[in-house]
Amino acid sequence: MHFVPPRPSMQAAREEAEQVMFGALDNLFANTNVKPKDIGILVVGNIRSYNLGGMGCSAGVISVGLAKDLLQVHRNTYAVVVSTENITQNWYFGNKKSMLIPNCLFRVGGAAVLLSNKSKDRRRSKYKLVHVVRTHKGADDKAFKCVYQEQDDAGKTGVSLSKDLMAIAGEALKTNITTLGPLVLPISEQLLFFVTLIAKKTLFSGKKVKPYIPDFKLAFEHFCIHELEKNLQLLPEHVEASRMTLHRFGNTSSSSIWYELAYVEAKGRMRKGNRVWQIAFGSGFKCNSAVWEAIRNVKPSVTNPWDDCIDRYPVQSVFDMSSSGGKE
């Protein structure tokens, strides 16, 4: 979107995609010393072969899950996951408020990730993929249409965001962590959750009982999530990477979680054994989680996207001001 007025043509969309895809892949191969000819699996959002079209902002985690499954079948193989956001042909030119929000929120972005099941790569790898948990709420019409591409009354095509979006995202997250919790939480937290659930269904049946929210801070050191920190009782420092990514790069869709991870690395906070929880929400409605464990102390790569500005972050954002009543 470098033209005024914008030119939503196929050529412009292709040029936009090439800018982020080629740059991300060039940096990936340079940082890992892997040759393109050695790649055995390639996962790209909207590639017909793997039916990842329409996965929205959660495509990054879905792609990682697909690559993980493929690597379990194909031995001694590299897999590349490319996550991008292309806005050229998704710009809305109408006046409907619910369809104008994506224009303000989404920006161009891209990331490339290399996964390997080769034993020789363990020493130089940054992370080990521990879990991928996927949740899909598409069976519910309200959830399916809360992020929906359609035409307005004037025939202008755009993506409409429902006022119920945050509530639906919260429900999807609740379903997702119900599956993820037993895999990552300590036994003490699992027992508290189980006892509360039993009490709610037996002793206090028919009464409103506040559900117990497990303390996921006991399971993870780093979180790549935005907006729903209150649902998880997280503190501002736990979602700093997500908020600063939105401030600096906007919402880059499925690549956002990688910008957030790069922020943690650029700050020098990733230590050996640290666990990272990436949470991605997408149209459909979907909530997907990926859990990583740092194999070593991780230093920022030479081409880290935060290199030229990390010293200026974190900054006071509108999110912090609203939560503190606007006071410094």
Active-site residue set: 57, 136, 222, 226, 247, 251
Q: Could you tell me which of 213, 183, 210 has the C-alpha nearest to residue 199?
A: 210
Q: Are 127 and 276 in contact (CB under 8 A)?
A: yes
CB-based burial of residue 305 (10 Å sphere; 0-12 exposed, 13-18 middle, 19+ buried)? buried
Cis preceding-peptide flag for 214 (omega within 30 of 0):
no
ω into 211 cis (within 30 of 0): no
**Using CA atoms, how far apart are residues 320 and 247, in angstroms rounded to an integer?**
12
Tokens standing for residue 129? 């993929």
Cβ-based neighbours of 273, under 8 Å, separated by 6 or more: 293, 294
Please answer whether residues 282 and 59 qualify as being in contact, where contact means their C-beta atoms are separated by less than 8 angstroms.
yes
Place of tokens 């793997």: 50
């954002």: which residue's tokens?
317
Residue with tokens 């959750």: 193
Alpha carbon 26 to chain centroid, angstroms: 22
Q: Angle formed by the axes of helices 240-249 and 256-266, to 10°? A: 110
Q: Are 306 and 314 in contact (CB under 8 A)?
A: no
Distance CA 263, CA 276 (A): 13
Residue among 249, 6, 313, 209 nearest 109 (CA): 249
* 3-class secondary structure, 323: helix
Q: What is the DSSP string of 117-155?
A: --GGGTTT-SEEEEEEEEEE-TTSHHHHTSEEEEE-TTS
